[in-house]
């Protein structure tokens, strides 16, 4: 689905994701994390459907549980002692809360990176970084490009191996492991050959040369300029709110909340508006297309 926010200039998309991810990773405010997580999940539901949300939640769940369990075991800061561990170190409420916040932050970042995969294609990466970081841009582009191809190739190799009698689901444990290794061996070989072919092809075209010019279909339109202005205004408001202590949440040595009030609520609304900006653009575009199709 290449409509709405996906059609904006890659610079606008990069600015948006950089803004949201920076706030999400740098400010461990529970309210901001909830807003960011819900927005990312809504965006994933829009592009991938509700069925894929379960897979995304499973991916984030296991990593979150590990952080929630491990953090109280290694961090003993805090003044509210819940119990004592077998080694004599205290288990504090503050370490549990901080672990939960860290887990929420990691899950939120995972959701947003899944969202990035729907927006950023290999040609957009080349457009953004190809001129001043050609090697890194090519590496990122190839990684994004091979993600879906790798899944298809894996299923293809697995089916071929099964027809040859090397099924990965039947037989003894040793036999299944051996057959699985064969599948991954063939998959890695295909991946390396494809990477070499892509690199040779780009090298033969003069990719990365200093005097080489490149063509791009992405141009700045008035809507892109307006989006950049809106994002920058939101960023300034968020930075001002952060500097004034309105997003402050302290976990150690005791849990404390920063300034509250109407201005803080307004700051949360601004961040929510920033997070749902792509969805707003997409829904507006969808309504426009439905209106045009109904007039035909």
Positive or negative CA dihedral for 187, 190, 196, 197? negative
Identify the pLDDT of residue 143: 66
Tell me whether strands 90-92 and 81-84 are parallel, antiparallel or unpaired.
antiparallel
Range of the domain at 33: 4-120+224-295
Identify the pLDDT of residue 15: 92
Identify the pLDDT of residue 19: 93
Identify the pLDDT of residue 148: 65
- For residues 77 and 200, state if they share a domain: no
Residue 31 falls within a domain, yes or no?
A: yes
What is the spatial distance between Cα 173 and Cα 179, in angstroms, rounded to a whole number?
10
Residue 254 falls within a domain, yes or no?
A: yes
Residue 125 falls within a domain, yes or no?
A: no
- For residues 190 and 271, state if they share a domain: no
- For residues 23 and 96, state if they share a domain: yes
Q: pTM for the whole thing? A: 0.74
Q: What are phi and psi of 258, to 5 degrees?
A: -75, -160
Last residue of a domain, one of 204, 236, 265: 204
Identify the pLDDT of residue 238: 92
Residue 88 falls within a domain, yes or no?
A: yes
Last residue of a domain, one of 153, 170, 204: 204
Backbone dihedral region of 61: left (phi > 0), alpha (psi from -120 to 50 degrees) or beta? alpha
Identify the pLDDT of residue 275: 93
The Cα diameter of the chain in Å comes to: 75
Domain count, the chain: 2
For the chain of 296 residues, list the mean pLDDT of each consecutive stretch of 10. Answer: 76 91 88 91 82 78 83 81 82 85 88 83 71 65 66 76 71 75 78 74 67 68 91 93 85 77 90 92 82 70
Residue 214 falls within a domain, yes or no?
A: no
- For residues 107 and 252, state if they share a domain: yes
């Amino acid at each position: 689905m290449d409509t709405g926010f996906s059609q904006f200039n890659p610079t606008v998309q990069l600015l948006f994701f950089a803004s949201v991810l920076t706030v999400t990773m740098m400010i461990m405010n529970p309210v901001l994390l909830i807003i960011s997580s819900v927005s990312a999940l809504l965006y994933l539901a829009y592009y991938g459907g509700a069925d894929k949300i379960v897979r995304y939640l499973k991916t984030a769940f296991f990593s979150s549980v590990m952080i929630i369990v491990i953090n109280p075991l290694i961090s003993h800061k805090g003044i509210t002692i819940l119990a004592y561990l077998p080694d004599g170190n205290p288990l504090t409420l503050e370490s549990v809360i901080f672990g939960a916040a860290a887990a929420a932050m990691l899950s939120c970042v995972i959701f947003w990176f899944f969202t990035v995969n729907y927006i950023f294609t290999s040609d957009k990466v080349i457009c953004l970084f190809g001129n001043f970081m050609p090697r890194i841009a090519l590496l990122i582009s190839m990684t994004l490009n091979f993600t879906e191809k790798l899944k298809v190739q894996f299923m293809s190799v697995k089916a071929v191996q099964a027809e040859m009698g090397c099924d990965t689901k039947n037989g003894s444990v040793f036999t299944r492991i051996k057959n699985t290794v064969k599948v991954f061996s063939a998959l890695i070989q295909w991946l390396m050959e494809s990477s070499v072919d892509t690199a040779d092809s780009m090298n033969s075209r003069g990719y990365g040369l200093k005097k080489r010019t490149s063509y791009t279909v992405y141009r700045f339109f008035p809507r892109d300029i307006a989006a950049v202005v809106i994002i920058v205004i939101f960023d300034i408001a968020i930075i001002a709110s952060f500097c004034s202590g309105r997003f402050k949440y302290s976990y150690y040595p005791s849990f404390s909340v920063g300034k509250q009030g109407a201005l803080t609520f307004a700051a949360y609304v601004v961040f929510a508006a920033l997070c749902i900006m792509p969805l707003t653009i997409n829904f507006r575009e969808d309504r426009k297309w439905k209106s045009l199709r109904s007039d035909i």
